[in-house]
Structure 1
């Protein structure tokens, strides 16, 4: 409507003036021109008035501005609430991770400890043989190697730790079975890793590392390095535990051979005969050999110090035996 009024005030007088300009007299022309100019001024003034802010609108704008100024606090509160929610979400996720890890562990009753790294357990009312993942202890029942050094110590330790206990079995990516039909698990008793305890005491080495079951391999290797530096258990014998297994032959080579004195000490003493009375020594006849040829011709060579015919001159190397050659 305002636009129509402006157009009317501005353009209608001009149209009337130019249409009737020739018919108007001098006064009429002046009045028409004045009217057109006045209409133009009023139109421009009205347009400026419309552009001026309305007090009510200004108040509303101020309210809006104050609302906008105050709105960050509200947004900040909302943001803090969002952060809190996110933190709870992270906590919940961590809880979910722990729950998942615990869910991967199953409880089993130990029926028998076979050796240091193998046990028999009862899972879902079924007997299963379980091999400890990522570790290897010396043998005690191997048909070829027999009882290896520290094999009995490892077996006794595992028996003491797990006999008639309820353990937790943690699976890696898969749990086997291996080529012997044994299941593969990480073993825990009283919340502690059995593999880690064997490695700490030098009763096992990190071995049989096959992808994808490598979850704790780096952790186990760090524990093994500490046992190696301390020289405990299998690491107390140089070159015994190696990458390809245990070398009992190294142990045998390093064992000191028993000395003759040791053997004589360990042998039971023989009974000694009763001492016999010694005959009264007879005076020794003086014998003289000019040289070794004479001694040999007489069948007396070699001549020992203290015997008849021995002279230092005949004993060239001064070893107490003359004419030995």
Structure 2
């Protein structure tokens, strides 16, 4: 029976981290049997009898869910989730995950890595697509990207901003370091 690791109480983080490090290694490349979109920058997948979560490296999409039940989803959160789902389900015949060298994100319970979809016989980084369409922004709070990747992500975001696509269509919505203005 599959267990959902994201709903475990915080005191079980060590067990989850151990489970992750027992099954996955930094820079590992694999293709899970299925992927389910959680939001615009997170997917989940079944492996080894558990459900694992992957936080896509270097991008931040607007929050769909909030710890505060009275808060509405952020603008473009549903669009980011839907586009990621479209990339995985409708447009891609194959996908792969390349885990980051840090392996685990700041929550301590999600894998950290790059997600690629196969389009026209080539694997494409979904972050590039989300950035180019203005559905995610470069996340620069933690140095997860190489300098070359940072520049590439910033260039993609700059072009989306120049064209006022997605999150950039709302003046003042995108703040520095890959965050969103929660007052909008």
TM-score w.r.t. the length of structure 1 is 0.42
**Correspondent of 1:197 among 129, 134, 146:** 129
Looking at structure 1, the residues matched to 141 and 150 of structure 2 have their Cα atoms a distance apart, in angstroms, of 8
Contact 1:201 1:232 in 2 (8 A): yes
Looking at structure 1, the residues matched to 67 and 116 of structure 2 have their Cα atoms a distance apart, in angstroms, of 29
Q: Secondary structure at the match of 2:44?
A: strand
Equivalences, count:
147
What is aligned with 2:67? 143
Bigger radius of gyration, 1 or 2? 1
Looking at structure 2, the residues matched to 122 and 208 of structure 1 have their Cα atoms a distance apart, in angstroms, of 29
**More strand as a share of residues:** 2
What is aligned with 1:109? 33
Contact 1:170 1:185 in 2 (8 A): yes
CA shift for structure 1 position 117: 0.7
- Which 4+ runs in 1 deviate beyond 6 A? none
**More helix as a share of residues:** 1
Q: Say whether 1:227 aligns with 2:153.
A: no
CA shift for structure 1 position 125: 5.1
Q: Secondary structure at the match of 2:84?
A: helix
What is aligned with 1:187? 115
In structure 1, stretches of 5+ residues that fail to align are 1-102, 252-325
CA shift for structure 1 position 162: 1.7
In structure 2, stretches of 5+ residues that fail to align are 1-26
Looking at structure 1, the residues matched to 150 and 96 of structure 2 have their Cα atoms a distance apart, in angstroms, of 19
**Correspondent of 1:157 among 68, 83, 90:** 83
TM-score w.r.t. the length of structure 2 is 0.71
Q: Which has the bigger relative contact order, CA under 8 A and spacing at least 6?
A: 2
Looking at structure 2, the residues matched to 247 and 109 of structure 1 have their Cα atoms a distance apart, in angstroms, of 36
Q: Tell me how large the CA RMSD over aligned residues is.
A: 2.2
Looking at structure 2, the residues matched to 197 and 111 of structure 1 have their Cα atoms a distance apart, in angstroms, of 18
CA shift for structure 1 position 208: 4.4
